[in-house]
Structure 1
Amino acid sequence: MPATTIHFVRHGEVYNPGHVIYERLPGYHLSHRGERMVRATARFIAENPALNTLEAVYSSPLDRTRETAGIIVEALDRVRRARGQKPLTVRYDDRLLEAGNEFRGRRIGRGKGALWHPENLKLVSDLFRPSWGESYREIADRVGDFVRDQVAGHPDSQILVVTHESPIWTYRHLLETGRPEHNMLLRKTALASITSITIDDRDGQVLGITYADPALRV
C-alpha cells in the first residue's frame, strides 16, 4: 500500500528572557537548552531506520525553525554520507509559519499581554475559537494544503517538516476529530517533539498518527 508519512517536528526552546510573545517576529533564536533538545531529537531521527530515509525536508522560514531544521539535517547528512547519498536541502514554505497573533511583541501573561487583561477578555471568551489572530480553520487549511502537495509530489516516501506548536496540533486535531477548533491549553506537542502522520497516497485517508518526545529529559 503506497503511503506518505509527514514527520512534523516542533522547534526547540527559544531564548526569550523578556517573556515576549514573539509569534512571527524576527530575532528569536534557539536557547542553549533548545539546541540540546534539538540535538536529542536529531539523534533519535538519524538513528531510527523508520525516520532516516527521508525524501525531503521542509521548514517554516522563522529563525527558530531554520535553526532546528539545520541541526537535524546535519545529523541526517552524516548517515547519508556513510550510505553514499547526497546531502539534504532544507526548503522553506510560508504555509508552515506560526499562527498570526495580535498579542505579538507583548509580555506573556503581564500587562496588556495577559489573556485576562480587561482589554483582552473579548478576545479570549472562547478558547476553542480564539479571536486574537488567525483562526484554527485557516491554520488547518494551509497545513492541509501543504500536506496534499507533499503526498502528490513525494508519493510513498518520508517527509520531515519543522514547524510550530499551533500548526501541528491544529492539523492533527482536525484529522482526529473532524474539526480544527480546540483548547490550546490541552495541546500535546512538546518542544522538539515529533508528530508523524501517515497518509494513503491513493485516497488521502489517514492511516496512522504517532507521537514521540525524544527531548523529554533534556
Structure 2
Amino acid sequence: MTQSTLILLVRHGETPTTGTVLPGRAPGLHLSERGRAQAEAVADRLSGLPVEAIYSSPLERARETAEPTAARTGTAVAEEAGLLECDFGDWTGAALAGLTGLPEWQTVQHNPSVFRFPNGEGFSGMQARIVGTLETLRAAHPGGVVVCFSHADPIKAAVAHALGTHLDLFQRIMISPASVSAISYADGKAPAVLTVNSTSEPLSGLRPA
C-alpha cells in the first residue's frame, strides 16, 4: 500500500530587515519581537498534528521559528542544509530599494529560470536543491507528518514544482512570513498541494492526500 507523506513548509517569521534587505545566507539575523510571536502562533496552529520530524534551515531566523513547534511536540529540530535560503552571492545584504532599479531585477521577476546571482546560486539550482531535499525527507518518513522551516524563495520554488508550474512563473506565488504551505507526496503519484501561504487558520485537520 502506498503511503503518503505530508510535508509542511513554514517560512521563518519576521526579522528587523524583512521587506527591506536581501539577507540571503548572512549569519546573525534573528527574529524580531513580532517574528517571535509569529513563531509561537505557528506552533499553536500546528497543534494536534502527529508531527514525526522537524527540519530547519541552519540560519538563525529559521531555527528560532522552529523552536516553539519543537517544544510543543517534543520533537528535536534537525538542521537540513537543503532548506537554506538561496545564495544571493554579491547581492547578499543589499537593500531591495537599490536592487529593483537594476536591469537584472526584471530577469529575476520575469525570467528567473535563467538567472544566477553574481557569485551565487541560480534559481534553477535552488529549485533542484529544495525539490531533492523534500524527496529525501519524504522517503525517510513514509506516512508521516514532517515540518520544514525554510525561506520564501525555496518554498515558492517547491510549491511551483509540486503544482507543475514553470519556474518562470514562481514569483506569482506569495509566501508570507510564518506562513504554512502543505504538500502531500506519495510514490508513483503527482504531489498534491493542500494549502499555500496559510497564515491564520488551524492546520490540525490536514492529512496526507
Give me the TM-score of the superposition, normalised by structure 1.
Answer: 0.80
Q: Pick closer, same or farther for the CA change 1:181–1:31 going to 2, 3 Å.
A: same
- The residue aligned with 1:69 is 66
Partners of 1:199 and 1:17 lie apart in 2 by 31
1:53 aligns with 2:50: yes
Q: Pick closer, same or farther for the CA change 1:189–1:18 going to 2, 3 Å.
A: closer
Shift of 1:21: 2.3
Q: Percent identity?
A: 26
Partners of 1:72 and 1:146 lie apart in 2 by 21
- The residue aligned with 1:145 is 132
Shift of 1:161: 0.2
Structure 1 unaligned spans of 5+: 77-86
Give me the TM-score of the superposition, normalised by structure 2.
Answer: 0.84
Cα RMSD of the aligned pairs, angstroms, is 2.1
Please tell me whether the aligned partners of residues 59 and 162 of structure 1 are also in contact (alpha carbons under 8 angstroms).
Answer: yes
Partners of 1:90 and 1:8 lie apart in 2 by 14
Partners of 1:138 and 1:42 lie apart in 2 by 31
Q: Deviations over 1:58-105 (max 9, x none)?
A: 0000010010011221223xxxxxxxxxx3111011110001113112
**For residues 72-87 of structure 1, what are the structure 2 equivalents within 5 Å?**
72-76=69-73, 87=74
1:33 aligns with 2:30: no
Q: Pick closer, same or farther for the CA change 1:151–1:19 going to 2, 3 Å.
A: closer
How many corresponding residue pairs?
A: 192
Please tell me whether the aligned partners of residues 198 and 209 of structure 1 are also in contact (alpha carbons under 8 angstroms).
Answer: yes
Shift of 1:178: 4.2
Please tell me whether the aligned partners of residues 162 and 192 of structure 2 are also in contact (alpha carbons under 8 angstroms).
Answer: no
2:55 aligned partner, one-letter code: Y
Q: Pick closer, same or farther for the CA change 1:159–1:6 going to 2, 3 Å.
A: same
Partners of 1:100 and 1:205 lie apart in 2 by 28
Please tell me whether the aligned partners of residues 163 and 193 of structure 2 are also in contact (alpha carbons under 8 angstroms).
Answer: no
1:198 aligns with 2:188: no
Q: Give the counterpart of 1:189 among 146, 152, 175.
A: 175
- The residue aligned with 2:92 is 104
1:162 aligned partner, one-letter code: F
The DSSP-based 3-state class of the residue aligned with 1:124 is helix
Name whichever structure is richer in helix by fraction: 2
Please tell me whether the aligned partners of residues 159 and 193 of structure 2 are also in contact (alpha carbons under 8 angstroms).
Answer: no
Q: Pick closer, same or farther for the CA change 1:209–1:140 going to 2, 3 Å.
A: farther
1:97 aligned partner, one-letter code: L
Q: Pick closer, same or farther for the CA change 1:43–1:18 going to 2, 3 Å.
A: closer
Q: Pick closer, same or farther for the CA change 1:71–1:45 going to 2, 3 Å.
A: same
1:72 aligned partner, one-letter code: T
- The residue aligned with 2:4 is 3
Please tell me whether the aligned partners of residues 162 and 190 of structure 2 are also in contact (alpha carbons under 8 angstroms).
Answer: no
Shift of 1:56: 0.5
**For residues 106-125 of structure 1, what are the structure 2 equivalents within 5 Å?**
106-110=94-98, 114-116=99-101, 120-121=102-103, 123-125=104-106
2:94 aligned partner, one-letter code: R
- The residue aligned with 2:193 is 208
Partners of 1:14 and 1:140 lie apart in 2 by 24
